[in-house]
Structure 1
Amino acid sequence: MKQLTRYALTDEFSAMPIGAGRWSADIDRSWWGWSGPHGGAIAALAVHVAASAAPEAAVRALDLRFVGRPSEGELVLTPAVLEVGRHTRVVDVSMTQGGRAVAAASVTLGRVGPPHPDDVVDVSRVSLPRPEDCEPFMIPPEIVPMGGHLDLRPTDGPLPLSGSSEAWMRAWISTITPMAMDAAYLALLADCLPPAVFPTMTAPAAIPTVTFSMHLTAPLHDPTPGPVLVRTANVSTSGGWSVDDTTLRDPSGRLLATARQSRRVQTPTTR
């Protein structure tokens, strides 16, 4: 199944080693977001490259910063591994296009121990419809092309651009091309819902991600492809910046990961 994970990413983003520890990838236009390569795809690639550079450890956290504007063309990812103690690794991944820096990531990896009776496990008891009982929702691919790669099924709450008073969304999400359940897959899905302020709006606006972080909260023992319950909520939009918090859960309600994004609001977020 580990090979399936790598196959899915290399198949979707043409990712491959190019020597000296570096990787090459190409996020084609079908995986673009509002105006460029989908941020979740870049996050997934950073996690994938870091995990390949430190295969003896498991991904625990990701911090990603966009330092330039990604565009069309080859993306070169260069990892640098730092050993922190016996079982922890920090892998810094620089990402460039045409020699120009576009993003930088720091991925923390470490040994995951066996379950213990004192473990704190977050399992949601909220009753929600199963994926097969939810109607699909298509993100218009003519506006956001990567929407065509997703099976997205809202469970409850407001929909984007509905003029709601509530700034949150929740949906079962999976990729139409099955991908194994690993940290790279979660990084991809964590950025697949629109900005959480969108339900309060009636017209789209450019709200690009500047920083993205994700923390794994549960071991990913079962790599079988499947839907993930993703909930994103806007915690602040003011002064031209917007902050979203996101949770990702498996079908049993177990919390798999949390994520946070800071976004730049490029146009007013008026209803």
Structure 2
Amino acid sequence: MSDPLYPDDKQPPDREREHDEAVDNDEQPLLTHLVELRKRILRALLAIGIAFIPLMLFANVVYEWVAAPLMAHLPPGVTMIATEVASPFLTPFKLAAYGALILGMPLVLHQIWAFVAPGLYLREKKFAVPLLVSSIVLFYLGMAFAYFVVFPLAFGFFAATIPDGVTWMTDINSYLSFVIKIIIAFGIVFEIPIATMLIVLAGLSTPKKIARKRPYIVVGCFFIGMLLTPPDVISQVLLAIPAWILFELGILLSKMVFKPDEEAS
């Protein structure tokens, strides 16, 4: 409110100074957060870039390792093919990009954590670090399960069902898209225990209430398996069953960290 003794454009110097300081104090926290966010984003991109360079240099070797589960079930003398002109270059490039994102994920999550941690309460920090580390480990376990368990079983099933007179020749780009989709799907599904604990810790539900919805969750696991995997029974079942087991694990862990008196209240 202006002083009646002074026009609006001629306020006392001390009042003008107080107004300018208030504006500066409002702008400084925003600028500080933006600078911090920029620094964290650049570090995350740097981590991904550092992981991308060696993966791109050895992309063909990495692709051979990725293709090994399928190659083990191809008939003798049969190889994968490239149906597009640029596929021999673009496919390894895409593999290196996906691989860099996957390998750089812990550092990216660390930068996210470093940005949001100052605004968290002590109790939130107490649970955040174990949950963050566990989510990374579970995501990698999901990818490993897909590569070492799901792929051999699924490709063995596909090879056993090939009709007579049909040669199984897979395009390298189509195969990579298939593999990435399955690996990411299993990585996400293995986060179910973390999601369950977050729901409980956020006060949205309790372990008992979640357990009562078990029949719906089981049906949902098979429905998610149908959506996230190719239209074959093997992949769907191999995704749905671990999802169910991980759901039960999430309930068990939630009961361990959830106090009975809190649930009763």
TM-score (norm 1): 0.28
Per residue, is there more helix in 1 or in 2? 2
TM-score (norm 2): 0.28
Say which one has the larger Rg.
Answer: 2
